[in-house]
Amino acid sequence: MRYTPAGIPAVEFKLRHESEQAEAGGKRNVIAEMPAIAFESLARLIAAAKPGAGARLEGFLAPKTKRSKRLVLHVTNIEFIEGT
């Protein structure tokens, strides 16, 4: 965990997604990784989670910084999945 210049806790992490999706009448296995960031209480939850823990995340895609074009998932809600 790090802190922004304003003193807000932040955690950057990599999100891994695995699923099977319907596409063009068939099934497609999807495996993807993307960068994500969480702030304040959500940052503390992510920092305390075990690596590989299953979770359902909600948020929005936006550049990492005002000067960056690299998209990052800004997490606004976390629901951990029991048993993972």
The 10s digit of each residue's pLDDT in 46-79 is: 999 988 889 999 999 999 888 888 999 999 999 9
pTM exceeds cut of 0.85 = no
Beta partners for 29? 20
Pairing outcome for strands 9-23 and 2-3: antiparallel
Can you tell me the distance from the alpha carbon of 12 to that of 75, in angstroms, rounded to the nearest whole number? 10
The answer to whether the CB of 35 falls within 8 A of the CB of 43 is no
Domain containing 28 — which CATH number? Answer: 2.40.50.140
Say how many Å lie between the first and final Cα of the chain, rounded.
22
Model confidence over 8-45: pLDDT tens digits? 999 999 999 999 999 999 999 999 999 999 999 999 99
Q: How many domains does the chain have?
A: 1
Residue range of the domain that includes 63? 2-80
Reported as type and span, the H/E element at residue 47 is: helix 40-48
Residue 50, classed as helix, strand or coil, is: coil
